[in-house]
Amino acid sequence: GLGVGAARTAIVTGASSGIGAATAVVLARHGYRVAVGARREDRLAEVLGRIEEAGGEGLAHRLDVTDAGSLDRFCAATREALGPVDLLVNNAGANRSARIAEASDEELRSDVELNLLGAMWMTRRVVPEMIERRLGDVVFVGSDAAVNPRTFQGAYNAAKAGLEAFARVLAMETEGTGVRSLLVRVGPTGSEFGNSMPQDRMQEILDSWRYWGVLRHLHWMSAEAVARAIVRTVTIPLDESYPTLLEIQPGGRSKENSP
């Protein structure tokens, strides 16, 4: 929560598509310099183009949040190009959907590493400098699956629940330092996120979710709507009351807007 006109530097992980890409562009419109990281470099280049079209300055750099060396290289490149980091948006995530009884070790590990460990590792790299400067926001892009777990997403749900605990501990440990920890619990969002789900089993998965009462409708929000809500939150001044937990759900006023 810096004053208007101050140059601010943000990192957005998982920024090649979806909520990450949208958040990077909205931040650029608000005057942030934005370092975007993801594994798909071709897609990152497109996002950097959109940042520059919005009148912003940015850096696109390959990032694998599960690789310590990749994290170090990304952070070094960001500081060199854009200066110290004022905002970190931990958005990188994926979901390898499978029933627990059918999941491989690799699928379980991949979900926990990407959604939980990656955010922990990235946070550890930027928070000390934020505390030293007495300035900084760390945003964790979570999921309502943390509190309403869904079948076929055991490891993903567990990782997102863990992310909420980690964000809360960071908030406690940074209280009074000028650093904020903000958890954004996101409901159904239209993005490429669902592409990694087994398409041939989608009907079975949706039926299971309906049975357990975790799928009320097929409405979803745009990634841009989620991005705007995230940016609204970080622009609240530090000395005002602000939400440490923000839950975002699709606007439910027009029930007929089924996809």
Residues annotated as part of the active site: 156
Task: Write down the H helix ranges in the chain.
Answer: 18-29, 41-53, 68-82, 105-112, 118-133, 154-173, 202-211, 223-234
Query: Could you write out the three-class secondary structure of 70-99?
Result: HHHHHHHHHHHHHCCCCEEEECCCCCCCEC
For residue 137 the two structure tokens come to 């926001």
DSSP per-residue codes, 99-135: -GGG--HHHHHHHHIIIIIHHHHHHHHHHHHHHHHT-
CB-CB contact of 14 with 91 (8 Å) = yes
Q: Which residues contact 133 (CB under 8 A, 6 or more apart)?
A: 84, 178
